[in-house]
Amino acid sequence: VRWLLTEPRVELARHRLVYDGADGRIYENPRALPRFYGGTTTITAWRGDAYDLRVDAPHPTQIASSIAFWPGWRILYNGRALRPQRVNGAFLGFTIPAGRGVVRVRYAPLSFWGGALISLLTIGGLAIIRARV
């Protein structure tokens, strides 16, 4: 965790105070790891459910993250699918082969697509019923 929010007047000795107000304090954890780490990893683009990475590894390397592992993560390395792994107990990770490449990490659970299909079928059914009435 990089940022910690506390009540006013709470002291955290091993963290750097970056905001101190009547509404609380914000501390920075100087030992926080980056979002993805392992080999040489650079995030080139991101949004809440997707990350593009540039990676360089001298040998097969496990890339770990601070993102919670959950079924539905999809990982492509140079266009080839990799298996998402649970690392450090609860976080998303994957193993890349040696070399340089581009990794695309996307969250696309099957439950979303199943729900979208059911919704579309329901809308279609209601449209048919309305057209007949």
Q: Which secondary-structure segment (H or E) carries 117?
A: helix 110-132
Q: pLDDT-derived band of residue 6, with 50, 70 and 90 as boundaries?
A: very high
Q: Which secondary-structure segment (H or E) carries 113?
A: helix 110-132
Q: pLDDT-derived band of residue 113, with 50, 70 and 90 as boundaries?
A: confident
Strand order across the beta sheet in which 99-107 lies: 40-47, 50-57, 99-107, 73-77, 80-82
Cβ-count burial of 75 within 10 angstroms (0-12 exposed, 13-18 middle, 19+ buried)? buried
CA dist., res. 73 & res. 92, Å (int): 8
pTM, full prediction: 0.70
Hey, how many other C-beta atoms are within 10 angstroms of the C-beta on 36? Answer: 23
Q: pLDDT-derived band of residue 81, with 50, 70 and 90 as boundaries?
A: very high
pLDDT beyond 80 at 112: no
